[in-house]
Amino acid sequence: MKNNKINYNTETVDGVRIFYREVGSRESPTILLLHGFPTSSHMFRNLIENLKNRYHLIAPDYPGFGYSDAPSPTTFEYSFDRLSQLIQKFVLQKKLGSFYLYMQDYGSPVGFRIASENPEWIKGLIIQNANAYMEGIGEPLANLFMPFWENRNEATIAPLVDLMKVEGTKFQFVSGVEKEEHISPDSWMHAQACLDRPGNQEIQLSLFYDYRNNPALFPKWQNYFRDNQPPTLIPWGSGDPFFTEAGAKAYLKDLPKAELHLLKTGHFALEEKHEEISDLIAKFIG
């Protein structure tokens, strides 16, 4: 029985070193794994281990996250347009061809930009707590971000700074889960170590502010769904307070053949349900 070894490498894209995890034969179906905030490719560690002998898996860290370079916001534009451009170039440099696209949280504004502009690249979508509909924006998310988007000042920044402290990071990982004792502290402490690096707070605030531009693209992404009908698997943590169950169900309006699986867990569903999601992916792709 084969036992593929996970490789940890970097690829320089536009002068920025992008760290990535990769495993598996390129003769197998490729899955590009796009992470969310405040984590990195580290969030896929269990999924990669589960599926490493079945698929070609590749998971990059965005600039400012994980082990990728984190250039200053004074020299690098931290926007979702820019992140998607870099990941698109990463795909081309790595010669991935066509692939399945797994997106969580920030993975959707990065991934759906790429998919809607390059539909021929996409064999299928795996959408896990990654939003493309207004009805999916939960009240805690709206209360945190909308005042900041309307008026960026010290008062509206303060709650977002609190979100980046260890208590806020832990909340994101444990809120809505089936059993908190199932969630390893390694998950939020790894993310916190990255958030606590000098200069990282400004990077994250830049992306928080730019996120206000994503809802305007929801109709474009929904048109992509309707026009292309990519095979779609939606494993969704139903206890997620940020991207709600309503957001998961909304995909079925435009992707009526999508498989929706509501799992009893939170925003970072892979922390508690990676075995179930791995099985769903194996059945979905074959």
Backbone φ/ψ region at 275: left (φ over 0), alpha (ψ -120 to 50), beta: alpha
Beta carbons of 272 and 183 less than 8 angstroms apart:
yes
Q: How many residues does the chain have?
A: 286
Q: Which amino acid type is present at position 265?
A: T
- Is 274 marked active-site? no
Q: Single out the catalytic residue among 35, 56, 190, 267.
A: 267
- Measured at the CA of 226, the angle between CA 223 and CA 231, to 5 degrees, comes to 125
Contact by Cβ (8 Å): 157, 205: yes
In angstroms, the CA 146 to CA 34 distance is 25
Q: CA of 248: how far to CAs of 53, 146, 255, in Å? A: 29, 21, 11
CA 86 – CA 93 distance, rounded (Å): 10
Structural contact between residues 106 and 35, judged by C-beta atoms closer than 8 angstroms: yes
Active-site residue list: 267
